Amino acid sequence: MKRRLFILCLLPFFLAGCFPQVDNPEEVIQENNKTQEAEKSIVPNYQISDSYYRTALPFTPSGSRGTIVYNLSSRYDSDEFEEGLLRLAQKVFPTDEYIFQEGQYLDEETVTRWLSRKMTAAQLKEKGMSEEQNLGLNPVVADENNAEEQEKNPIYLSHILEHNFLKKSEKNKVKPAGLSIGLAMNSVYYYTVEEKGGGTKESKVKISEKKIMEKGREMAQEIVKRLRQKKEVGDVPILVGIYKLEDRTSVVPGHFIAYGYAEKGTSLKWETVNEKYVLFPSSEAKKYSADYKQFQTFQDQVSEYFPNYNGIVGRAFYVDDGLKQLKIDISMQFYGKTEVIGFAQYIAGLLSYFPKQWSVEVNLKSQDGMEALILWEPDMDEPFVHIY
């Protein structure tokens, strides 16, 4: 099997659709949202594929950068939330027409305030705040130590993510042309109350998808209204996606369940999204019997020739009930680089037995970390193999 070089890029380069070395980048003029001054930027001409946006360089970080790590308890969710919002954006902001930029309108303080609970008059007085500062989108709780109140009024909204999109205008200028907002909604709310005898007790309440949709749409409408009040946003088209978080103990990420789009004004037109992640093997995976059988066959073929593997776990991504992507982690103890190479070659050969329309990624891991990566995409003649 031919050896190919697989180049690993950090997220900003994926979003930019470029490699670290770029030939003949395009120079553009961009207005700084904070200073209102024109600044020179470059836009790489190279684009990896239609799945990735190019970005204006130097990369301008969001004012709320890093908050996603603190607000989402699962790394699976934090990654998928961001990547999924980019997928949704492509429905209205095509990658060949728009340039990506991290969110510039919502800073950390604003996001934190919007994620908080609405406060009562007494709570505002206690904190020395005015009604104009009472911007929390989550429901009010008069007594946070009251379990019944917590249960009836869970925190629905866990995080807000913003992405901006620019478009070229006359004389090589770029201007804001689109904005996407992701709302990460809890499907399970954990809360802690003090017990009478001392100590604390943690409890949880499940939140139905129907309730997530209801509250998410209400909050989306309010957020669009607030954004429209910002002079720099104006009538820029806005997309808002509602993301259903998984329980913090889950080993698969959540997924988007709906998105709304407002070309101008504050009225969002809503569409449902049929996506989900399924763990292989699991009882849920058995509902997709044909796909599950393919995965079991792969497992059997691995164990037949390499019985000392420690486990195989797959995470399947379904769109409109069809499997689009399968990520497989194989844990195994290797005793030399030649063993890694031999095992990777064997796995690469097995990928040809999966349906051609599947995107498959296999990560070979040991107690020392990543050992090899094998990729198969529908348009490939043979898999990519990278040995670490």
d(CA 353, CA 294): 8
Total count of residues recorded for the chain: 388
Backbone angles phi, psi at 26, to 5 degrees: -90, 130
Model pLDDT, residue 240: 99
Residue of 357, 348, 377, 353 whose CA lies nearest to 294 = 353
Please enumerate in sequence order all residues whose Cβ is within 8 A of that of 37, keeping only pairs 6 or more positions apart, or say none. Answer: 31
Q: What is the pLDDT of residues 214-243, one digit of tens each?
A: 999 999 999 999 999 999 999 999 999 999
Mean pLDDT is lowest, of 60-69, 161-170, 262-271, 378-387, for: 60-69
d(CA 254, CA 207): 14
Mean pLDDT is lowest, of 57-71, 208-222, 316-330, 347-361, for: 57-71
Handedness of CA 342, 347, 353, 357 (dihedral sign): negative
Backbone angles phi, psi at 227, to 5 degrees: -65, -40
Same domain, 130 and 243: yes
Model pLDDT, residue 195: 87
In the three-class reduction of DSSP (H, G, I as helix; E, B as strand; rest coil), residue 132 is classed as helix
Model pLDDT, residue 12: 44
Is the pLDDT score of 87 beyond 60?
yes
Model pLDDT, residue 196: 83
Mean pLDDT of 3-13: 41
Is the pLDDT score of 8 beyond 90?
no
In the three-class reduction of DSSP (H, G, I as helix; E, B as strand; rest coil), residue 368 is classed as coil
Q: What is the pLDDT of residues 270-293, one digit of tens each?
A: 999 999 999 999 999 999 999 999
Residue of 341, 360, 248, 238 whose CA lies nearest to 298 = 360
For residue 26, being part of any structural domain is answered with yes
For residue 227, being part of any structural domain is answered with yes
Please, where are the H alpha helices in the chain?
11-16, 67-71, 75-89, 108-115, 121-127, 147-152, 209-228, 289-305, 337-350
Contact yes or no for 329/281 (Cβ under 8 A): no
Same domain, 321 and 264: no
For residue 6, being part of any structural domain is answered with no
Please enumerate in sequence order all residues whose Cβ is within 8 A of that of 377, keeping only pairs 6 or more positions apart, or say none. Answer: 359
Residue 333's pLDDT band, with cuts at 50, 70 and 90, is confident
Same domain, 162 and 72: yes
d(CA 210, CA 128): 36
Contact yes or no for 192/129 (Cβ under 8 A): no
Residue where a domain stops, chosen among 258, 273, 288: 273
d(CA 262, CA 255): 22
For residue 2, being part of any structural domain is answered with no
Q: Residue 67: how many CB atoms within 10 A of its CB?
A: 19
Residue where a domain stops, chosen among 217, 250, 273: 273
Mean pLDDT of 184-189: 97
Residue where a domain stops, chosen among 273, 299, 314: 273
Mean pLDDT of 182-195: 95
d(CA 299, CA 313): 9
Same domain, 228 and 290: no
The domain tally of the chain equals 2
Is the pLDDT score of 1 beyond 90?
no
Is the pLDDT score of 98 beyond 60?
yes
For residue 1, being part of any structural domain is answered with no
Antiparallel, parallel or unpaired: β 173-185 and 238-244: parallel
Same domain, 371 and 248: no
- Domain limits for position 378: 279-387
What CATH number is attached to the domain comprising 300?
Answer: 3.30.300.190
Model pLDDT, residue 47: 64
Backbone angles phi, psi at 2, to 5 degrees: -65, 145
Bigger pLDDT: 64 vs 261 = 261
Same domain, 226 and 302: no
Across all residues in the chain, what is the average pLDDT? 88
What CATH number is attached to the domain comprising 269?
Answer: 3.10.570.10
Same domain, 253 and 321: no
Mean pLDDT is lowest, of 89-93, 264-268, 291-295, 319-323, for: 264-268
Same domain, 335 and 361: yes
Contact yes or no for 205/192 (Cβ under 8 A): no
Mean pLDDT is lowest, of 229-233, 303-307, 334-338, 365-369, for: 303-307
Residue 6's pLDDT band, with cuts at 50, 70 and 90, is very low
Is the pLDDT score of 117 beyond 50?
yes
Model pLDDT, residue 28: 64
Q: What percent of the chain has pLDDT over 70?
A: 87
Burial track 289-313 (b if 16+ CB lie within 10 A, e otherwise): eebbebbeebbeebeeeeeebeebb
Same domain, 220 and 294: no
For residue 345, being part of any structural domain is answered with yes
For residue 362, being part of any structural domain is answered with yes
In the three-class reduction of DSSP (H, G, I as helix; E, B as strand; rest coil), residue 281 is classed as coil
d(CA 362, CA 348): 9
Residue 128's pLDDT band, with cuts at 50, 70 and 90, is very high
Q: Which amino acid is present at 60?
A: T
Mean pLDDT of 326-340: 93
Adjacent-strand bridge partners of 383: none
Same domain, 139 and 218: yes
For residue 3, being part of any structural domain is answered with no
Same domain, 256 and 378: no
Is the pLDDT score of 299 beyond 90?
yes
Model pLDDT, residue 16: 44
Bigger pLDDT: 203 vs 48 = 203
d(CA 249, CA 251): 7
DSSP letter at 171? G
Same domain, 62 and 177: yes
Q: CB-based burial of residue 79 (10 Å sphere; 0-12 exposed, 13-18 middle, 19+ buried)?
A: middle
Backbone angles phi, psi at 376, to 5 degrees: -135, 120
Mean pLDDT of 293-314: 90
